[in-house]
Structure 1
């Protein structure tokens, strides 16, 4: 038997079952019915046997890798007392996913959005990242995002042993996750039973990057983890990862539409025809270096005392060399002249056409971003008789620094440009003539955004106490306190430079096109050389701070909870669970700058506070030894995004009605009442049929709109984030997973993991006013189907993921709501374990090169962004001992 392999046991399948055949095209539901019938047959035969010999004919099946991960995750799901999902990676590195974000989006009802081709933030049950709360080892952590969202791709799968996704509330969970709470679990050295050392090293090839000039598509990935047990009382873990991503890609982007009164009437029917403001093409050549490190020491000096000290660090450095082409002023046409030589209307918009006069700007730029996250904490657990006391202190910080330096080179000879952004059509953009001829080029200026700085620090402490009870019904009483102090601040700078020379020697410039895209050639050149030639080099001393963007938010949180755990019978059915309440009090102080009537910026500070009681009830009915029915009732909140609490304001009192824009430090939290129901049938080892339903009523939502806000006693019409009415979110989830135990012997080493989720809601964003977008994250349909194979050291997975369209915030600006078009992605991975110590793995992600397509204003023809990231190939070698 292979070292570190895990075992499950199966009864031999009867001769009739061994010869049964499943014909092609069987749906997951039909497969479920077949499995259920077979499971019932086997159970009936087992029941007819002598109880004393019930285990005499068990066969040992070795379970490793992905199959072991699926099995362990089922055990975790089964043994929790709330509706939840789990990912398990007890044997370090056994997950086929590169980051934990890629594994998360395969769970029932979860989605993600791709950033530079990588899965990033989590969407749970149709609710976006702002309502999904992330923790690490049960602790709230700082984030390099402006709001609160964790970037899950910053957490390498090799440094984690599992993930729990709590879809229902419990009083002991930190308040904050209406959609759910995602907890990342790091290594517990004393409990770890896998290999002491795991190292993995390999190369990564990015398909889309291979089409880009002066750019290598090859990166690498490596990791090493060591778990050492000094004795039975002291153990430690050390781990590190490094990854270079070369995931360059091309993009076609729209700039939104002029749908206002100043638009023109193209066809003369008396109705204004919205036209695009402009568009741009772009190629991004990325060099991204990611590093991560983990250190844990765990001690049990006595049977009553356990101490754990841990630290996690992650950083990534992104350098992007960008080539852009801006097509400007398309939307400024007011109906006069012959600006549009031809056009095609779709849903009343000019979705395709030829613009007869066009301003073309070429941009050669470099973007530099550095992110880092550090989490550390100490946990002490003491037990005595019927008491368990756990204390935990933690500190976390996150940094982000970014700057964009660009050289603007204008084409002085206007040209005709033709675009086609219609829904259902691959976007295209072309020009007539050669606007990039050197004689037509003139350097306009150097433009620099940044450096921008974001800092987030969070210190927290909590005390949890459990008292076991002697009652036949009440099993334990839990209570605890938590305090946290978090500060996030942001500052931004910018500057421009006048060129010292407006001409560029032709020897310093070249052009290139991108296969697979219909778009004009792009201008290229060495950025540093061009800047030195035309600007005399970059001059950051010219940078001035943008006080309109500078803000500081401090949040102090106090929480307390009490929870009773029970275990009893109800009408002859065993029922267990918990009932409790959590109370959270939050004080915020927001400092920033405001300007009145375009005058100088002056400091402003605004405080706010709120208190929310959050009751919860969880009931688990053991309707049969292998069947559980769960019910959860709760109230929940998600705290407002920290950046939306900024006190920054620009006010105007010159008109009849005072107006303004900015943040809103008086925001109250999102609030919801929730019902969760789940039926789980563990009909075989490694097998599950689950059906879950839920209903959430969002009492309070947060979004951008124009509304009245009282500022120093004056009512302003503000464009700002506001609290507003919510609505219902309801949905259902179906999960089916099993090895193919019902097939003939060679096929029993195959299996399936699948889920489907449906969600419906009347919750909308507040924009556009006349056609509001669905709630951020609301994908009506989500599905995952993984077919896997595991036998004799060989493992393979073919994974399919689908989501329907949903609203998302692409980037950091919450006012820039877009719709992400439906996506279907297909991944493949295969691994071979040569012996106990050496294994090989090959992966292909995004086999079908599924594009990312975003559009504005709930109108599919209003293109926002179209990108193809290509396939990602990786091959690595794993060493274990």
Structure 2
């Protein structure tokens, strides 16, 4: 489904008209402008409210009282943020987009810049990540443990550096913020309809959570929470394997004889995944405030996510018949029985003689854990405030993919990936016949896995002094030091088959309704593996040493910041000015291989320094209106996995070539300016308009460049620094209850629209570079809600235009995620003051996820149907 720009403009005009009509009706009740600020931009006064309406009202309070340009998600109602995970809430904020992984929202892009340029914090602290770079997978944080989220779009000297796109700070529960002991328990079921017809699979999961907050006294509070979730989602995907194109380093031929080279696809696959994901989490908090002068907070978070995924795949053309035109496949296209379709010099469909069809029965498992803890102390004496913070986090991930293959060569086989059609595959006989599934010695069983760990320790100290209500109001300074080590090890081995054909008694076959393809074969994975290879047995030499790497990083930061306030032309203003100095030292470890010879350990050091000034101003205009201005220099450190020192080099034939990481990468750097207008024209109501510009000085992307190593110049493919460019955009937010219409006083709207323009490009493909990762030119959200104290409901619309994504863990795997329009619905009913129920339905229109290669819509990368998600839960509070 697509959306036209004129539709978005019409929606914006409608919202503006509604705002114009509503403002006079609210003129007598609009709150006075806030002219004072708290000492900490993240600590603001919030109204204690509940439910959807309460969350929106609290978020307005956070936004209005902040010193910076921010967006907020907030609720004083424990465990009752509107969505199941924080990731699903984040993508409803202005200018924020996400990608769906296994049917769930995952990583976030902000203002046209991808997840690698977004800094993730928990309670103001950087945390370790089980991703190979620095990215945070936001779905790891269930909504039950979160009291709010703040997304900083402008920068301040006291804010941790690292987020050019923005900084997302998750705030967990503080026990003394709640009145009296409270227990909140939730239990419910979750159902994904895409897996309902898959064999040996029930797509019904469940969620359980319990939270206890107990202010033991006025000075001591405890909080403890636990969550357990089993998610089961089965879905199908059609995937292309890329195209043989001269622009991307290939060797294509003139397939149709018209004198132009035609890109041929390397192959394709259909795939069914049956997921069982088990999530467990525990969080705790201790808050001690013996006086107004001293406060101590200790918080702990543990999360464990296990994935067990049965996979059935069919590969088409892995023998190279489809794509290797310049090598061995020219004969196949020239065969008189062959047929093909070419659009704009791209082969989008072909049926070729004796192309291979490979059936795959596979199992993917993953176990990732996160432990994060921190101790924060705050002491005030007179006009002085001292704050100290110690934090530690560790993330680990262990994953493994194991597969058994059978392979056949029908007289004719092919795929059709023509745009506008449902992808399909063809074989001249039933390659899913369970009576004939030959195992081939050249196609041994395979096990491919990895182990990653990330350990991060931080210490921070801040000092501030209150100076007065006007003029120079506050001076603060502080320092922060982090020590981080991330390392990765790959495991890989193969096992030859011990029989010629899989026993039919172990197998069944099935088809899916999403795509017209040959039958999949299926069987109990362990039983099939035992019959085919005697079971998977990991050998002692299974470590792929050459792929291993580790990076040690130390960051030392110091800042100074001054706040000020006064009047300008009779209008009150507040602001801050400051600078943050950042010193980064890294040591990267890996292994070097030359011409396939013995591995040699390599360690490379690097360091860099940046001074990051910032200025923020807020001018209070007429009643309920304020204007914000921000100016800052920002940086984001390179992805940790791109700093790997390992390299593979060949110099036996000219020119010498190689592939490598780049330990000498410099950080992303940008200078940015923000201007926003906010009008709080009624309680719970807001109209905001923001414009911004980012001058990105340096960018990091994949390319091939000459690099001299040990006196020899190689053409090395890997990550390099390159030119940046400008990013400009505008964002509009409108929210209000319809209180000005008596019959609609329980209804309301939340809507936003964002537009981004950028000339920052990725380095690939060379002839038509992709937009920078995360750049969706247009993003829109419209939520219509109802709340009467007992019954609440929300109908949510979300749209984003196409944008570049990184698929998987390989930073060079750039694709274009096509436009998506999704529709969600939720409703809750409070039966009594103690018992409530909630129903949610996500992706009501069953929107598929479609991705393409090479900035070309004719080159399908994947088309996936995750289906709809339905959940029903009950909440008990006491």
> TM-score band, normalised by the shorter chain?
over 0.9
> Is contact 2:48-2:58 (8 Å) kept?
no
Cα separation, partners in 2 of 1:194 and 1:803, compared to 1, 3 Å: farther
Return the match for 2:261 from 266, 272, 278: 272
Asked if 2 retains the 8 angstrom alpha-carbon contact of 1:69 and 1:94, the reply is no
Which of 411, 416, 422 aligns to 2:418? It is 422
Q: Which residue of 2 aligns with 1:22?
A: none
Question: Given that residues 265 and 335 in structure 1 are in contact (C-alpha distance below 8 angstroms), is that contact kept between their aligned partners in structure 2?
Answer: no
**Which of the residues 481, 484, 497 maps onto 1:483?**
481
State yes or no: 1:294 paired with 2:283.
Answer: yes
Match of 1:103 in 2: 89
Aligned to 2:17: 33
What is the TM-score of this pair, normalised by structure 1? 0.93
Q: Distance in 2 between matches of 1:451 and 1:352?
A: 33
Alpha-carbon distance in structure 2 between the residues aligned to 1:638 and 1:46? 40
* Residue of 315, 321, 325 corresponding to 2:304: 315
Equivalent runs, 1:752-831 vs 2, <5 Å: 752-831=749-828
Count the aligned residue pairs: 842
Q: In 2, distance between residues paired with 1:339 and 1:121? A: 48
- CA apart distance, 1:536: 1.1
1:256 to 234, 237, 242: 242
Q: Sort the Cα spacing of 1:832 and 1:147 in 2 relative to 1 into closer, same or farther, 3 A.
A: same
- Work out the CA distance in 2 between the residues paired with 1:41 and 1:105: 31
Contact map agreement 2:413 2:426 (CA 8 A) in 1: yes
Q: Which residue is 1:866 aligned to?
A: 863
1:186 aligned onto 2:172: yes
- Which of 357, 360, 370 is 1:363 aligned to? 360
Q: Per-residue deviation at 1:46?
A: 9.6
User: Contact (CA 8 Å) 2:434, 2:508: kept in 1 or not?
Assistant: no
Given that 2:432 and 2:518 are in contact with CA atoms closer than 8 Å, whether structure 1 keeps it comes out as no
1:236 aligns with 2:236: no
SS at match of 2:195: helix
Q: Which secondary structure state, in structure 2, belongs to the residue aligned with residue 269 of structure 1?
A: coil
Residues 405, 446 of structure 1: 8 Å contact kept: no
For the residues of structure 2 that align with 1:194 and 1:627, how far apart are their CA atoms? 36
Give 1:713 shift. Answer: 4.7
Query: Is the counterpart of residue 325 in structure 1 residue 325 in structure 2?
Result: no
- In structure 2, stretches of 5+ residues that fail to align are 1-8, 32-46
1:54 aligned residue: none
Residues 379-528 of structure 1 aligned to structure 2 (within 5 Å): 379-411=376-408, 413-438=409-434, 440-444=436-440, 445-470=443-468, 472-528=470-526
Between stretches 652-661 and 165-174, larger displacement belongs to 652-661
Q: Which one is further off, 513-522 or 434-443?
A: 434-443
Residues 79 and 194 (structure 1), Cα distance of their counterparts in 2 relative to 1, 3 Å cut: farther
Indicate if the aligned counterparts of 2:366 and 2:398 stay in contact, CA closer than 8 A: yes
Matching residue of 1:163: 149
Q: Distance in 1 between matches of 2:189 and 2:26?
A: 46
Secondary structure of residue in 1 paired with 2:323? helix
Distance across 2 between alignment mates of 1:771 and 1:795: 48
| Cα pair 1:660 1:719 within 8 Å, conserved | yes
User: What is aligned with 2:39?
Assistant: none
Residue 590 (structure 2) aligns with: 592
2:236 and 2:514 in contact (8 A); partners too? no
Mapped pair 1:43 → 2:22: no
Residue equivalent to 1:376: 373
Tell me, in whole angstroms, the C-alpha distance in 1 between the residues paired with 2:535 and 2:861. Answer: 33
Task: For residues 602-628 of structure 1, give each alpha carbon's deviation from its aligned partner in whole angstroms, at most 9, with x where no partner exists.
Answer: 100000000000000000010123001
Would the alpha carbon gap of residues 26 and 730 (structure 1) be closer, same or farther in structure 2, given more than 3 Å must change? closer
Q: Deviations over 1:707-751 (max 9, x none)?
A: 1223345433211100010000000001000001222x2311110
Cα shift readout 1:573-625 (whole Å, capped 9, x = no counterpart):
21111000000000000011010111111100000000000000000010123
SS in 1 for 2:260: coil
2:873 and 2:469 map into 1 onto residues whose CA distance is: 55
- Deviation, structure 1 residue 302: 2.6
Q: Secondary structure at the match of 2:529?
A: helix
For the residue of structure 1 that corresponds to 2:63, the secondary structure is helix
Task: Give the 3 Å change call, closer, same or farther, for CA 386–660 of structure 1 in structure 2.
Answer: same
314-323 or 500-509, which deviates more: 500-509
Q: Secondary structure at the match of 1:417?
A: strand
Paired residues of 2:26 and 2:682 also in contact (CA < 8 A) = no
1:394-416 deviation digits (Å, cap 9, x = unpaired) = 000000000111111112x4242
Matches of 1:194 and 1:794, distance apart in 2 = 25
Matched, 1:611 2:609: yes
| Aligned-partner SS, 2:658 | strand
The one-character-per-residue Cα deviations of 1:837-856 (angstroms, maximum 9, x if unpaired) are 00011111110111011111
Aligned with 1:96: secondary structure?
coil
Structure 1 residue aligned with 2:639: 641
- Do the aligned partners of residues 44 and 140 (structure 1) sit closer, same or farther apart at CA in structure 2, a change above 3 Å counting? closer
CA contact (8 A) 1:35 1:742 kept: no
SS in structure 2 at match of 1:127? coil
Q: Do residues 848 (structure 1) and 840 (structure 2) align?
A: no
Per-residue Cα deviation, 1:440-472 (whole angstroms, up to 9, x for no partner): 421135433334100000000000111111373
Q: Give the root-mean-square deviation of aligned CA atoms.
A: 1.8
Per the alignment, in what secondary structure is the counterpart of residue 644 of structure 1? Answer: helix
Residue equivalent to 1:566: 564
Match of 1:53 in 2: none
Q: Which residue of 2 aligns with 1:727?
A: 725
Is 1:346 the counterpart of 2:343? The answer is: yes
State how far apart, in whole Å, the 2-side matches of 1:434 and 1:311 are: 55
- The residue that corresponds to 1:200 in the other structure is 186
Q: CA deviation at 1:42?
A: 4.4
Which of 684, 687, 690 in structure 1 is aligned with 2:685?
687
- Find the counterpart in structure 1 of residue 662 from structure 2: 664
User: Normalization by structure 2: what TM-score?
Assistant: 0.94
CA 62–380 in structure 1, closer or farther in 2 if over 3 Å, else same: closer
The structure-2 alpha-carbon separation of the partners of 1:471 and 1:783, relative to structure 1 and needing over 3 Å to count, comes to: closer
Q: Which residue of 2 aligns with 1:880?
A: 877
Q: Distance in 1 between matches of 2:95 and 2:834?
A: 37
Contact kept? 2:30, 2:683, Cα under 8 Å? no
The Cα of 1:281 is off from its aligned counterpart by 0.6
